[in-house]
Amino acid sequence: MHKKIFPSGNAMAAAAADIIIDLVKDMPDALLCFATGNTPIETYRLLVQKAHDEQVDFSRCFCIGLDEWLGVAPETSGSCHYILHQQLFSPLGIAASQVHLFDGMAADPELECKKMNILVAEKGGVDCMVVGVGLNGHVGFNEPGVDTKLGAHVQELHQTTLDSGKHYFDTPVPIRKGITLGLTHVMHAKLLLMLANGTHKAPVVKQLLQDEVSNVLPASFIRRHGNGWLLLDEAAACMLEEQVLLEK
Ligand code: F6R
């Protein structure tokens, strides 16, 4: 793992966007995986802007979503599906044929998981995955205690996740479970970008860097990722011990 601390959330987002742009320039047919949530909003805005400014061609990329709320329809504002289309796919001109997202309304969520596992395997794994960190240390919807050997799976969501989740929606939604790529996907991503900004993330960032690597805090596994980049702003890094701050 590599760690970088930026003076601001905006600088962190600009660096993340640059990394993705460079990857797509080098590998136009990359398989990209994106999280939603508040953390990557600025990264995605800058990614779209840089893609336009530098005329980067996303037309051969394939994009997947990291996760989705089960029981929430794609067209519901606040669903991962809706957000990714609004923030990324539409402005980047990425066609529906280049995207595969979990369907939160799937009659058979297990089949939905199987389809995603097959797709990722057929494409030879994820080339670049962008993830955030939950307040409880989750990655995607891999909640504390998750079986680290799982691929895509349905996950009962913890109360902290349900509480944060409510804020993404304009109207109340009956969420209890999520559908997510597994930690095996996260760990096998050829490039893993984990983003965290803001003082509210400082306690979990401290835990993920200073506690043991374990499924008690799924995000801590980034420390075992050979090409994992933990990108933080100073606010998210503000609780780190001097020694940890100095480590690269
Ligand atoms: C969302 C996702 C979640 C979020 C995490 C942080 O697709 O995968 O794991 O990344 O809950 O959310 P924010 O960024 O809103 O703090």
CB 102 within 8 A of CB 71: no
The DSSP H or E segment spanning 12 is: helix 9-26
Mean pLDDT, the chain, as a whole number? 97
Q: Which residues are catalytic?
A: 67, 136, 138, 143
Indicate which residue's Cα is closest to atom 12 of ligand 1: 37
| CA–CA distances in Å: residue 80 to residues 2, 188, 218 | 28, 22, 20
How far is the centre of ligand 1, averaged over its atoms, from the C-alpha of 134 (Å)?
Answer: 6
Residue closest via CA to ligand 1's atom 2 equals 140
User: Ligand 1 pocket test: which of 41, 85, 138 has the largest number of ligand atoms within 8 Å of its C-beta?
Assistant: 138
Looking at ligand 1, which atom is closest to the CA of residue 139?
Answer: 9
Whether the predicted pLDDT of 247 surpasses 90? no
CA–centroid distance, 135 to ligand 1, in Å, is 9
The confidence score (pLDDT) of residue 246 equals: 85
Give the distance (Å) from ligand 1 centre to CA of residue 28: 26
Label residue 71 by pLDDT band (50, 70, 90): very high
Average pLDDT over residues 240-247: 89
SS3 231: strand
Contact 200, 135 (CB under 8 A): yes
What is the reported pLDDT for 106? 97
Contact 197 CB / ligand 1 (< 6 Å): no
pLDDT tens readout for residues 129-153: 999 999 999 999 999 999 999 999 9
Mean pLDDT, to the nearest integer, of 100-110? 97
Q: What is the pLDDT of residue 248?
A: 76
212-228 mean pLDDT: 98
Read off the pLDDT band of 182 (50, 70, 90).
very high
What is the pTM (predicted TM-score) of this model?
A: 0.98
User: What does the pLDDT look like over 2-59, one tens digit per residue?
Assistant: 999 999 999 999 999 999 999 999 999 999 999 999 999 999 999 999 999 999 999 9
Q: Which runs of E-coded beta strand occur in the chain?
A: 2-6, 31-34, 62-65, 67-69, 99-100, 128-131, 153-156, 177-180, 192-196, 228-233
Question: 80 CB less than 6 Å from ligand 1?
Answer: yes
- The answer, yes or no, to whether any atom of ligand 1 lies below 6 A from the CB of 67, is yes
- Whose tokens are 């011990």? That residue is 241
pLDDT of residue 147: 98
Q: How far is the CA of 115 from the centre of ligand 1 (A)?
A: 23
